[in-house]
Amino acid sequence: MKKLIVMKAVSYAKLQRRYGGKFVAREDGRVLASGLTYRQLLQAIRKRHLKREHLIIGYVPPKDAICIYPTTSFPPSRLRRSAIPGWMADTHRRWVS
């Protein structure tokens, strides 16, 4: 039986102060492992014998970083290919198919 993932509110400012510029692994709102690179994070997860299927893994931008997130108010199938950043291209293909 699959475990229901519950997202708890986390203070992003506190997260950035402590883990800015790092990859983190969270479960139930708590940071269980972190690393400067994705590889270091995976090593920390293995070292602590954490179950990866229960973790939410992500990157926390540095405190002074400016982040721009693309948003759309219409179906992705209507997006022009040139309007999609390279890192979203695979996601876009999954949406359309």
pLDDT tens for each residue of 61-94: 888 887 776 766 655 555 555 544 444 444 444 4
Q: What is the pLDDT of residue 21?
A: 93
Q: What is the pLDDT of residue 91?
A: 44
Q: What predicted TM-score, i.e. pTM, was given to this entire model?
A: 0.60
Per-residue model confidence as pLDDT tens digits over 18-67: 999 999 999 888 899 999 999 999 999 999 999 888 898 999 988 888 77
Residue among 74, 41, 73 nearest 57 (CA):
41
Gap between the Cα atoms of 84 and 33, Å rounded:
32
